[in-house]
Amino acid sequence: MQELSSRPAVSLLVRSFYAKVRNDELLGPVFNERITDWEEHLERLTDFWESNLLFARKYKGNPVQVHIDVDQDNAPGIDQKLFGKWLQLWYETLDANFHGDNAQIAKNRARNMATHLFMRMFMARVKE
């Protein structure tokens, strides 16, 4: 167990988590069909979480729009069950590898992001 306090630790979190996601029967197909360059994706997500947890200001992108696009490509859309599974695997990965305040913050931020992203995807569906 280690603190989630450096880029290498964030990278371990992201890579361990997405190894589970890629092999999951619910999440794997959604991610594996969309992502063609996993190394680039993992680096981008490491930037995202490093920015969120360590205030590194490395991430550049629009995660809301990306998730809306993925939702629209996966008719009838991404449901709460997928977000629940995503959070379950995120929590399991954190609990297996990390301790301390940033591990708890990572759980809280992921839960808040999942809610926010799901609501934004839902609102985009309604606008169609």
Predicted pLDDT at 101? 96
Q: What's this model's pTM, rounded to 2 decimal places?
A: 0.90
Give residue 128's pLDDT: 61
Residue 26, CB half-sphere, CA atoms under 13 Å: how many? 12
Q: Which residues lie closer than 8 Å to 10 by C-beta, 6 or more apart?
A: 4, 46, 49, 50, 53, 54
Token digits of residue 58: 């490395």
Whether 120 contacts 24, CB under 8 Å: no
pLDDT digits (tens, 9 = 90+) for 72-91: 877 677 888 888 999 999 99
- As given in the structure block, the two tokens for residue 70 are 């993925």
The domains found in the chain, sorted by start residue, are 2-127 (1.10.490.10)
Q: Angle at CA 19, nearest 5°, toward 13 and 23? A: 145
Residue stretches of the chain with pLDDT short of 50: none
pLDDT of residue 57: 85
